[in-house]
Amino acid sequence: QQQVKQSPQSLIVQKGGISIINCAYENTAFDYFPWYQQFPGKGPALLIAIRPDVSEKKEGRFTISFNKSAKQFSLHIMDSQPGDSATYFCAAKKSNTGKLIFGQGTTLQVKP
């Protein structure tokens, strides 16, 4: 079963706009929620992450919003740039393990 559901599958945003990707999880036994960014032909790389005792984390143009009661978290990319065009994966780490459960991925295209 898919424990982490990600939407949308694809997203097109104009340069300077805000990109928003959403994830929902089903299991409460997660203790860490990262977002990974993947460029074509490359492996994923950690972008930003949050722990469930925090409602928001911001790093530059990237922000994670976390809603524990709704079991949802989202990635916001402010002032989106063509260089942000990539596939983004949310994930959730199972407590007391090193295992990540990934969402299905979102392909973002930022048009100049």
Partner 1 sequence: NAGVTQTPKFRVLKTGQSMTLLCAQDMNHEYMYWYRQDPGMGLRLIHYSVGEGTTAKGEVPDGYNVSRLKKQNFLLGLESAAPSQTSVYFCASTATVGREGAYEQYFGPGTRLTVT
Q: Per rule CB under 8 A, is residue 12 in the interface with partner 1? A: no
Bond prior to 34 in cis (omega within 30° of 0): no
Bridge partners (DSSP) of residue 38 are 87
Chain centroid offset of residue 100 CA: 13
Q: What is the Cα–Cα distance from 67 to 80, expressed in whole angstroms?
A: 23
Q: Per rule CB under 8 A, is residue 23 in the interface with partner 1? A: no
Q: What is the Cα–Cα distance from 56 to 41, expressed in whole angstroms?
A: 31
CB of 17 to partner 1, least distance (A): 25
Binding mask 51-90 for partner 1 (x = CB under 8 A): --------------------------------------x-
Of the candidate residues 11, 49, 81, 109, the single one contacting partner 1 (CB under 8 A): 49
Bridge partners (DSSP) of residue 7 are 22
Question: Residues in the site for partner 1, rule: CB under 8 A?
Answer: 4, 6, 9, 31-32, 34, 36, 41-46, 49, 89, 93, 97-100, 102-105
